[in-house]
Structure 1
Amino acid sequence: MKNWLSLGLVSLLMGCATQPATTQSDSVPAPLPTTFYDYTITSPQGQALSISELAQALQSADIVLVGEWHGHPGTHLMQAQLFAQLYRLNPDMALSMEQFTREKQNVVNQYLDGEIGEKTLIKEGHAWPNYASDYRPLVEFAKHNKLDVIAANAPRPIVRCIGKNGAEYLDKLPATERNWVAESLTLDNDAYRQKFIASMHHGDEAKTQRQFAAQTTWDDTMAESMVNYLALHPNRQIIHVAGRFHVAGGLGTASRIRTRNPELNVMMVTPVTASSTLAESAPDYRVEVMALPQSYIDNDKMMAAMSKIHGRNKTLKCYP
């Protein structure tokens, strides 16, 4: 019965939507997405690919980093369908997720083993608010096929405290909590740091340094989680889902993986839109989707929303 469930889920993820990325000659451009579920795929060299051809191109990777715009239907659909296609080529896989953190690994394992229900996973695992719509397909595919799910990320409260106090905050953590974060952070002036600083606009250099320490905490921890997993399961392929900034151009999580194990073959799949592209030299496979709606038009409303987010630090409890 479980074999039938697995086959059914593979078929569903591979065929639940029209495949907008079809094989075409190099002289014929891929069709533009017309709904938020559509996507078109091109190789780093600009060749149009189908989702199955993308999986074949990624077959040699030890780790496939798949970016997303959080909440974008097209990127989440692509992730689920790519996972199914990769599994079809190589069942010896694991799913790694930005959306679950290390201290919740046991909760994730309990769900995969059928010891708890989905509501308990969501509550006790601190699943993201869009779990049911966007990440359930990935976790359920892993569960049905008895694949590991790596809760790869660092806990948000610790990362926020690093953003408030700097990287030295890690020295204040009790031993158990210290294990929830990467053993070392990459704080040198690399291309990722330069990209992050260029995206900041507040002009406070010290604050920017603290914020970058927090940013790279995500990437270093996710990278270390995957490298450590592959050290125990050396022949397994990992598909890792994370926000676009962590993936694009191989500057974030990929660079942190390489410093820990340069022998690993890491490949990137990054979403783009007509106005949000990648450098021509970027090694990423590109998945073009429709751009999400503009979040704010009224600047005052945007600033009010940002102030509310930043105001959380007033109630943030960090070790003294």
Structure 2
Amino acid sequence: MKLLRTLTLLLTGLLFTLSASAQKTAEPIAYRLVDSVGRPVTFDKLITRAAGADVVFFGELHNNPISHWMQLRVLEALQQRKGKNLTLGLEMLEADIQLILDEYLAKTISPKSYGDEARLWPNYETDYDPGVYFAKDHGLRVIATNVPRRYADLVNRKGLPALDSLSAEAKRYLPPLPIVFQSTEESAGMFAAMGALVHGDKKKEKRYLEEAQAIKDATMGYRISQHLRPQHTFLHLNGSYHSLQNGGIIPYLRRYAPKAHIVTITTVLQEDVEALEEAYRGMADFILIVPEDMTRTH
């Protein structure tokens, strides 16, 4: 009887342990890093590939903290591999503030003066300043690659031909004119869908919107091409749309620097980060999968 009671207690304890084990809370996962077809890859492999490239495009989600954290980690790791043979470029900085940026990097002007004059994005301090500060601290070049927003606005209102009316000084911040307009399959599909819903002047507005996107991509491609050097790697931070599926900036860069070796990284959101969803296959050479409920920086 005593033996039976002991066995009953042991069995009850075992069942309780198994039940508690079955209810164990899943470990939170902040990201997964995979290749273009969804195979897991190490950070070291990504950096090895990136260090051998002329240009690395890191496509971010602007308000995603994991994107920004990983960008900084990539920058730091590339600096360890490449030393000063590394350049950082940002979509978030416009070409006409390059002098201001250079003066800030050289510590000629104060951070306050830089912030007052550089038309920084609202999330610059948390999301981009760490990378720029790292570059500054390690003597790396930083290039403001985007078109001045006033010229993107001009194209959005009047189309690409309006750029011809600009002064020679203004055209210093643009790629060679005329821009050869080229649209990726994805952007063409998006704008075609928009076009099906609009008519008359609205169709013209849609076309101008697409051309405004093109002047941004062309300017970034041209600015990158003008700062490539042998044995150097140019790490470019941009919204994922600007380099997705080798589109956006990349066709323009290939026009200006056809021999450039390019590696792409992009960021996607998924409910389950364990396996890459079919829709995201082929989006980039490396894909950063982030939980869709990840907090946002703004």
Distance 1:124 1:95, change over 3 A: same
In the TM superposition, residue 205 of structure 1 has moved relative to its aligned partner by 2.3
1:7-86 aligned at under 5 Å gives the runs 34=28, 38-86=30-78
C-alpha distance in 1, partners of 2:278/2:27?
Answer: 15
1:232-272 alpha-carbon deviations (Å, 9 max, x no partner)? x3331100000111011111111111122221011110001
Consecutive unaligned residues in structure 1, runs of 5 or more: 1-31, 296-320
Please say if 1:180 is aligned against 2:173.
Answer: yes
Give the structure 2 partner of residue 215 of structure 1: 213
In the TM superposition, residue 183 of structure 1 has moved relative to its aligned partner by 1.5
C-alpha distance in 2, partners of 1:246/1:254?
Answer: 8
Letter in 2 for 1:229: H
C-alpha distance in 2, partners of 1:101/1:190?
Answer: 23
Give the structure 2 partner of residue 308 of structure 1: none
In the TM superposition, residue 192 of structure 1 has moved relative to its aligned partner by 5.4
TM-score, normalised to structure 1's length? 0.75
Letter in 2 for 1:291: E
Please say if 1:286 is aligned against 2:287.
Answer: yes
Q: Which of 98, 101, 119 is the equivalent residue of 2:91?
A: 98
Distance 1:292 1:105, change over 3 A: farther
In the TM superposition, residue 178 of structure 1 has moved relative to its aligned partner by 1.5
Please say if 1:273 is aligned against 2:263.
Answer: no
Give the structure 1 partner of residue 235 of structure 2: 239
Is 1:39–1:78's contact at 8 Å kept on the other side of the alignment? no
C-alpha distance in 2, partners of 1:199/1:238?
Answer: 35
C-alpha distance in 2, partners of 1:178/1:277?
Answer: 43
Distance 1:146 1:209, change over 3 A: same
C-alpha distance in 2, partners of 1:57/1:252?
Answer: 21
SS of equivalent to 2:93: strand
Give the structure 2 partner of residue 146 of structure 1: 139
Q: Which of 114, 118, 127 is the equivalent residue of 1:125?
A: 118
Distance 1:278 1:90, change over 3 A: farther
C-alpha distance in 1, partners of 2:293/2:157?
Answer: 30
Distance 1:57 1:122, change over 3 A: same
Distance 1:277 1:148, change over 3 A: farther
Distance 1:93 1:278, change over 3 A: farther
Letter in 2 for 1:164: R
In the TM superposition, residue 284 of structure 1 has moved relative to its aligned partner by 2.8
C-alpha distance in 1, partners of 2:278/2:37?
Answer: 14
Consecutive unaligned residues in structure 2, runs of 5 or more: 1-25, 272-276
Give the structure 2 partner of residue 315 of structure 1: none
Asked which structure has the greater RCO (Cα within 8 Å, sep 6+), the reply is 2
In the TM superposition, residue 186 of structure 1 has moved relative to its aligned partner by 3.2
C-alpha distance in 2, partners of 1:189/1:109?
Answer: 33
Is 1:94–1:238's contact at 8 Å kept on the other side of the alignment? yes
Please say if 1:263 is aligned against 2:259.
Answer: yes
In the TM superposition, residue 200 of structure 1 has moved relative to its aligned partner by 3.2
Give the structure 1 partner of residue 188 of structure 2: 194
Letter in 2 for 1:78: M
SS of equivalent to 1:128: coil
Distance 1:277 1:71, change over 3 A: farther
1:151-170 aligned at under 5 Å gives the runs 151-170=144-163
Q: Percent identity?
A: 25
User: Rg: which structure is higher?
Assistant: 2
Which segment drifts farther, 253-262 or 161-170? Answer: 253-262
Q: What count of residue pairs does the alignment treat as equivalent? A: 260
In the TM superposition, residue 51 of structure 1 has moved relative to its aligned partner by 2.4
Is 1:248–1:278's contact at 8 Å kept on the other side of the alignment? no
Q: Which of 76, 80, 97 is the equivalent residue of 1:88?
A: 80
In the TM superposition, residue 83 of structure 1 has moved relative to its aligned partner by 0.8
C-alpha distance in 2, partners of 1:60/1:277?
Answer: 28
Give the structure 1 partner of residue 7 of structure 2: none
C-alpha distance in 2, partners of 1:170/1:33?
Answer: 54
C-alpha distance in 2, partners of 1:53/1:294?
Answer: 27
C-alpha distance in 1, partners of 2:180/2:291?
Answer: 33
